[in-house]
Amino acid sequence: MNVEGLKKIAGEKAAERVKDGMVVGLGTGSTVKYTIMKIGEMVKNGLDIVGVPTSKATERLARKFGIKIGELAEYDSIDLTIDGADEVNKNLELIKGGGGALLREKMVAYYSKYELIVVDERKYREIFGSFPLPVEVVKFGYARTMRKLESLGCKPSLRLEENKAFVTDNGNYIIDCSFGKIENAGDLEKEFNMIPGVVENGLFIGLTNEIIIGSKNGVKVLKSRE
Ligand code: 5RP
């Protein structure tokens, strides 16, 4: 099976968890796209849910597939969120933000009763942190913020799109921070967020309940002990 096939089996498996009446957080990216398409099919067959999108792109996709859309602020909690990730490990820690949606994704995850992650097997890591950590920063003084991030041990680079700075749905920039290896993800998440000008970073620690991994041998599941 090719990578696209692995994303599809993971994404579609997660859709099985969606039940009538739920408020469902809809993640962003090319894996969760398969979940959203599957939920769209289920809605056509009578499933009644509200989706809370984590990006403008996901909102467009969900609307295209006939999913009712709600806003985060309308609900005290979200029953289930399904989202992708760029790296996962056995502790259910994640690096997210490859698609630039990390701030909304983390807010939706924070208010979710259950965070379910879908990835293909290439995303699983014994050694965490080879994917550059995305950090969302305000535009004001961003070059200074970058130097501060560098002083904390990474190689930062401003994310570009078509030769211009990439701008998030929230009007901010993304700095991708290469570490090579991250050992103290929980501390790093907090340390980065203490820097003025940093809005959020892509480390998701203690937010995930389960990871569905699409592998050549089928779907594998990693779960937290609850
Ligand atoms: C977007 C994300 C995505 O979930 C992550 O980048 C994975 O995307 P894909 O499934 O396309 O590899 O965090 O901000």
Q: Is 86 in the pocket of ligand 1 (CB under 6 A)?
A: yes
The pair of structure tokens assigned to 117 is: 């992650």
Q: Is the CB of 106 under 6 A from ligand 1?
A: no
Residue 1's pLDDT is 86
Catalytic residue among 93, 105, 189, 200, which?
A: 105
Check if 129 has its Cβ closer than 6 Å to any atom of ligand 1. Answer: no
Quick one: tokens of 178? 């290469």
Structure tokens at 134: 């995305």
Q: pLDDT (tens digit, 9 = 90+) per residue, 47-95? A: 999 999 999 999 999 999 999 999 999 999 999 999 999 999 999 999 9
Active site residue 126: no
- Written as six digits, the tokens of 12 are 């579609």
Residues with Cβ within 8 Å of residue 162, at least 6 apart in sequence: none
pLDDT at residue 224, as a whole number: 79
> What residue spans in the chain does CATH classification 3.30.70.260 cover?
133-199
Please indicate whether residue 53, judged by its CB atom, sits closer than 6 Å to ligand 1: no
Contact 122, 98 (CB under 8 A): no
Q: Work out the pLDDT band at 171, boundaries 50, 70, 90.
A: very high
CATH topology of domain 3-125+205-217: Rossmann fold (3.40.50)
Res 152: pLDDT: 93
As annotated, the residues of the chain forming the CATH 3.40.50.1360 domain(s) are 3-125+205-217
How many angstroms separate the alpha carbon of residue 67 from the centre of ligand 1?
20
HSE-CB of 1 using CA atoms within 13 angstroms: 17
| Distance of alpha carbon 30 from alpha carbon 57, whole angstroms | 11
Over residues 9-31, the mean pLDDT reads 98
What is the CA(75)–ligand 1 centre distance, in A?
24
Integer Cα distance of 152 and 163 in angstroms = 27
Q: How confident is the model at residue 226 (pLDDT cuts 50, 70, 90)?
A: low
CATH of 133-199, one of 3.40.50.300, 3.60.15.10, 3.30.70.260, 3.40.50.880: 3.30.70.260
Taking the CA of residue 27 as reference, the ligand 1 atom at the shortest distance is: 4
Write out pLDDT tens, residues 88-128: 999 999 999 999 999 999 999 999 999 999 999 999 999 99
Name the pLDDT band for 136 (thresholds 50, 70, 90).
Answer: very high
Say yes or no to pLDDT of 225 above 70. Answer: no
